Chain A
Amino acid sequence: MIHPLLPNQLQKTQETMRMAAEFILRPISRKYDKAEHEPPVEMEQLNQAAAAQKEKGMGDDSVKSMDLKGRNLWAVISLEQMCWGDVGLFLARPGTGLGNAAISAVGNPDQKSKWGKRWASMAITEPGAGSDSKNISTSAVLDGNEWVINGEKIYVTDGDRCDCVVVWATLNKAMGKTAIRSFIVEKGTPGFSVARLEKKLGIRASDTATLIFDNCRIPRENLLGGKEEVEMDADAAKKSFGGAMQTFDNTRPMVAGMAIGLGQAALDMTRALLAEEGYEDNFGASMGQQTAIQYELEMLEAELEAARLLVYKSAWMMDNKMPNSKEASMGKAKAGRIGNKISLKCVEICSMQGFSEDHLLEKFSRDSKILDIFEGTQQIQQLIVARQVLGKSSSELK
């Protein structure tokens, strides 16, 4: 039955998360935008409060009783609301990073039980390889019962504050993507250090680190998914890198959901500021009957709603065990660019108030940019969609 609507229970989840975003994240939004690199202690308190509630049976356990095939749509909706509050703070919430998504996607049972509850960041990008992740240089060599990791990783979200890092490295750079594996490296391992933290345009509450691996030795069992040797069989090799990339099919709807939450926040705040000057929406009216602002906001709202539905669909497909690579990229492409467009347009609409640090609109417009870059840039998403729609390989459509 075609019914792209959220059941009551999911709408309740939305409300709960929105409350948390509004009353816990928003009040400290500006503080940690200013105090870059200072860990937001309130986020730890938020975690404790949530854990305490759960113990008392008061937490949001409603998801367990819901008629859901999976938790992905629920997760996207929750995340959307948290990021309505503050994307940077959400990313800085201790406990879960992108590495956790990788561990839960491809980890074996031992790895899941050992690392599942630890805060795991994800280190892929290098100074010489960003979107082109198969071209990484960080190396992993098996020496006895240990892997020896060498290399430099940049732009690692949570890289400083996490408990462990999922590091992408190559067993043999000459072999290309077939030789790429991911490894779990625990904080404090000799040879592993945080070299520096980036100063950024936005999401300043979240730490973005440069990590150095200098003859860093980790246990053999920390290889995450994939074989210890490079497969010679082309199909098996394809599968192994494809497996690593599949993590993105799971995480892209989440990041896209973040952009939706931020876009909604910008629209809501713009309307609130406009309302003080007597603004009202005029949906569905002709051009001749709408002001430029009414026209602009209606179009932005339409774009946001469209992006939201794409993202919900990609999560719904995950919940229903349908391959969603194309849809995940569609949602990420649309949400990433629209979140950015909306937040910038809202600053423009609100003029000097929008540009001012008296309000958070300018902050949203800085935070939004990264959502169209990380977890696959706009252009990478377009490439993935284009290849699938046109039926092309990566060698045909570069």
Chain B
Amino acid sequence: MNRRTATTVGRAREEVTRLWATPGYRTDYIDQHGATVAFKDAPGDRGTEIHVDLDGEGRNGRGGMLRRFEGSTGLAKVKDELRRFKQRVETGVIPRSDGAPEGESAERKIKQRPAQPLKDSELQKAGG
């Protein structure tokens, strides 16, 4: 099973790699699962490509079995983190809707809220 994904962020490589290492932009799941991350200049004015391989250390490498066991859920989490990183870098915010008040998240895709404003208690839970 292919567990690679990529996104393009509209900033120069130096800035993208610097922000990738900045605490406020953390990509915890990717960091904690031994994924291989590669940065590459995108063509033209497109910025920087970020390539993530969740089987980074090889299918038989350290933790390989565990990572395979997590299957597509793991890849969905990686995609979430890449989208949130891109959103954060390009727009300064993580877009949040009424249906997905925490922003892009694999868990929320399965269990959406109705698209109507949150009650105060829900708002607190979703991070103010």
Whether both chains belong to one complex is answered with no
